[in-house]
Amino acid sequence: MRARHFSLATGSPRIGWSTPEYRTMRPLSSEEIERIAHKRAGAKLGWYVHAAVYVVVNLFVFAISSYAFGDRPWSIFPMLGWGLGLGLHGISVFFLGAGGGFREHLVRQERDRLRRRQDGT
C-alpha cells in the first residue's frame, strides 16, 4: 500500500514509500530513530540559541534606548516583533514539529479515523 500526498510545488499528488504516514505504520529502524532524534534535538537546540540571542540583544538594545537616546521607550517595538517570531519558532518546534505533543495527538486522531473508515465501522 502506498501513501498519497498532494505536492504544493507541482500541484499533483505525490506517491511514495517515504511519506510520514507510511513511516508511522511500521517499526522504525535504529538508524531512523537516530536520525529523527538528531533532527528533533537540533530543532530544540536552535530554539534555545535563538532565545539566548534574543535576550542578549534585547538587553543591549534596551540599555541603549534607556541610557543613550533619551527617555522614549522605542526598544519595546523590536522586542515585541522579535518576540513574536521567537514565540512562533517555539510553537513550531515544541508543539507543531515532528514529535510535538499536539502534532502527535492530531496524527493519532487521523490514524484512528482512517483505520475505522478502512475497517468499515
pLDDT at 47: 94
pTM over 0.85? The answer is no
9/97 Cα distance (integer angstroms): 21
pLDDT at 98: 65
pLDDT at 12: 44
Segment 29-44, tens digit of pLDDT = 888 878 888 888 888 8
For 2-68, the three-class secondary structure string (H helix, E strand, C coil) is CEEEECCCCCCEEEECCCHHHHHHCCCCHHHHHHHHHHHHHHHHHHHHHHHHHHHHHHHHHHHHHHC
86 C-beta neighbours (distance < 10 Å), count: 17
Q: At what angle do helices 76-91 and 30-67 cross, to 10 degrees?
A: 170
Which portions of the chain are predicted below pLDDT 70? 1-25, 70, 98-100, 121
